[in-house]
Chains A and B, each alone.
Chain A
Amino acid sequence: MTDFKPLEKKLTGLENKLKKYRELLLANLVMVGEIPAPTFNEDERVQFILDRFDEAGLTDSSIDDHGNGIGVLSGKEGKDSILLNAHADTIFSQKTDHTMQVSSDSITGAGVADNSLGLAVLATLPYILEDLDIELKKDLVLFAGVKSLGRGNLEGIRFFLENNPFKISDAICIEGIQLGRLSYSSIGMLRGEITCTVPESYDWSRFGDASAILTLNEVINKINDIRLPKRPRTSIVMGSIVGGTSFNTIARDATLGFEVRSESQEVVEDTGSTIGDIVHEVSSKTGDQVELDIFARRSPGGVPYAHPLNECARSVMESLDIEPRLAPSTSELSALIDEDIPALTLGITVGERTFRTNETIQIDPIFKGLAQLIGIILAVDGGYCE
Chain B
Amino acid sequence: MSNKLQKWIDKNTYHHSEFWDLKKLVEAKEKKNLKISLCLPTLNEEKTIGKEIIIFKSELVERYPLIDEIAVIDSGSDDNTLEVAKNYGADTYLASDILPNLEQKKGKGENLWKAIYQLEGDIIVYVDADISNIHPRFVYGLVAPLIHRDKVHYVKAFYDRPLAFSGNVRASGGGRVTEILVRPLFSLFFPELTGIIQPLSGEYAVRRDVLEEIAFPIGYGVETSHLIDVYHKYGLEAFAQTDLDKRVHENKPTQALGKMAFGILQTFIKRAKALGVFEKAEHETILRQFQVKENHYEQNLMEIIEEERPPMIEIEEYRKKFKK
Q: Which A residues contact B (CB, under 8 angstroms)?
A: 23-24, 26-28, 30-31, 34, 55, 99-104
Q: Is the CB of A99 within 8 A of B63?
A: no
Q: Is the CB of A30 within 8 A of B54?
A: yes
Q: Which residue of chain A has its CB nearest to the CB of B84?
A: A104
- Quick one: given A55-B63, A99-B132, A99-B133, are A104 and B57 in contact (CB under 8 Å)? no
Q: Is the CB of A104 within 8 A of B87?
A: yes
Q: Is the CB of B80 within 8 A of A26?
A: no
Contacts of B88 in A (CB 8 A): 23, 102
Q: Is the CB of A100 within 8 A of B89?
A: no
Min Cβ gap B127→A in Å is 15
- Any A CB within 8 A of the CB of B32: no
Report the bound CA distance from A55 to B23 in whole Å: 10
Q: Is the CB of B58 within 8 A of A23?
A: yes
Report the bound CA distance from A30 to B133 in whole Å: 10
- Any A CB within 8 A of the CB of B110: no
- Quick one: given A55-B63, A104-B80, A104-B83, are A99 and B248 in contact (CB under 8 Å)? yes
- Any A CB within 8 A of the CB of B15: no
The interface centre, meaning the residue of B54, B57, B80 with most chain A CB atoms within 10 A of its CB, is: B54
Q: Is the CB of A31 within 8 A of B55?
A: yes
Within 8 A of A (CB), among B58-108: 58-59, 62-63, 80, 83-84, 87-89
29 A–B contacts, CB within 8 A, in A order: A23-B57, A23-B58, A23-B88, A23-B89, A24-B62, A26-B54, A27-B54, A27-B55, A27-B57, A30-B51, A30-B55, A31-B55, A31-B135, A55-B63, A99-B133, A101-B50, A101-B51, A102-B50, A102-B51, A102-B54, A102-B88, A103-B50, A103-B80, A103-B84, A104-B50, A104-B80, A104-B83, A104-B84, A104-B87
Min Cβ gap B248→A in Å is 7
Contacts of B50 in A (CB 8 A): 101-104
Q: Is the CB of B63 within 8 A of A103?
A: no
Report the bound CA distance from A34 to B51 in whole Å: 12
Report the bound CA distance from A104 to B53 in whole Å: 12
Q: Which B residues contact A (CB, under 8 angstroms)?
A: 46-48, 50-51, 53-55, 57-59, 62-63, 80, 83-84, 87-89, 132-133, 135, 248
Q: Which residue of chain A has its CB nearest to the CB of B89?
A: A23
Min Cβ gap B130→A in Å is 12
Contacts of A100 in B (CB 8 A): 51
Q: Is the CB of B133 within 8 A of A34?
A: yes
- Quick one: given A102-B51, A104-B87, are A24 and B63 in contact (CB under 8 Å)? yes
Question: What are the 6 A-B residue pairs with the smallest beta carbon separation, nearest first?
Answer: A27-B58, A102-B50, A102-B51, A23-B58, A104-B87, A23-B57
The interface centre, meaning the residue of A31, A55, A101, A102 with most chain B CB atoms within 10 A of its CB, is: A102
The interface centre, meaning the residue of B51, B87, B135 with most chain A CB atoms within 10 A of its CB, is: B51
Report the bound CA distance from A127 to B53 in whole Å: 20
Contacts of A55 in B (CB 8 A): 63
Q: Is the CB of B54 within 8 A of A23?
A: yes
Q: Which residue of chain A has its CB nearest to the CB of B23?
A: A55
Q: Which residue of chain A has its CB nearest to the CB of B22?
A: A55
Q: Which residue of chain A has its CB nearest to the CB of B87?
A: A104
Contacts of A102 in B (CB 8 A): 50-51, 54, 84, 88
Q: Which residue of chain A has its CB nearest to the CB of B64?
A: A55
Report the bound CA distance from A55 to B20 in whole Å: 13
Report the bound CA distance from A380 to B217 in whole Å: 63
Contacts of B63 in A (CB 8 A): 24, 55
Report the bound CA distance from A280 to B304 in whole Å: 73
Q: Which residue of chain A has its CB nearest to the CB of B51?
A: A102
Min Cβ gap B16→A in Å is 15
User: Which of A24, A99, A101 contacts B58, CB < 8 Å?
Assistant: A24
Contacts of A99 in B (CB 8 A): 132-133, 248
Report the bound CA distance from A165 to B80 in whole Å: 51
Contacts of B57 in A (CB 8 A): 23, 27
Contacts of B87 in A (CB 8 A): 104
Q: Is the CB of B58 within 8 A of A26?
A: yes
Contacts of A103 in B (CB 8 A): 46, 50, 80, 84
Min Cβ gap B57→A in Å is 5
Report the bound CA distance from A30 to B53 in whole Å: 12
Contacts of B135 in A (CB 8 A): 31
Report the bound CA distance from A44 to B294 in whole Å: 24
Min Cβ gap A359→B in Å is 16
Report the bound CA distance from A30 to B87 in whole Å: 17
Contacts of B59 in A (CB 8 A): 27
A26-B58, A30-B51 given; 6 more Cβ-contact pairs under 8 Å: A24-B58, A26-B54, A27-B59, A101-B47, A101-B50, A101-B51
Q: Which residue of chain A has its CB nearest to the CB of B56?
A: A27
Report the bound CA distance from A99 to B88 in whole Å: 19
Min Cβ gap A232→B in Å is 47
Contacts of B80 in A (CB 8 A): 103-104
Report the bound CA distance from A100 to B58 in whole Å: 16
Min Cβ gap A91→B in Å is 22
Min Cβ gap B61→A in Å is 8
Report the bound CA distance from A99 to B133 in whole Å: 7
Min Cβ gap A346→B in Å is 24
Report the bound CA distance from A34 to B132 in whole Å: 10
Report the bound CA distance from A103 to B248 in whole Å: 19
Report the bound CA distance from A31 to B48 in whole Å: 14
Report the bound CA distance from A99 to B48 in whole Å: 10
Min Cβ gap A331→B in Å is 28
Q: Which residue of chain B has its CB nearest to the CB of A56?
A: B63
Contacts of B62 in A (CB 8 A): 23-24
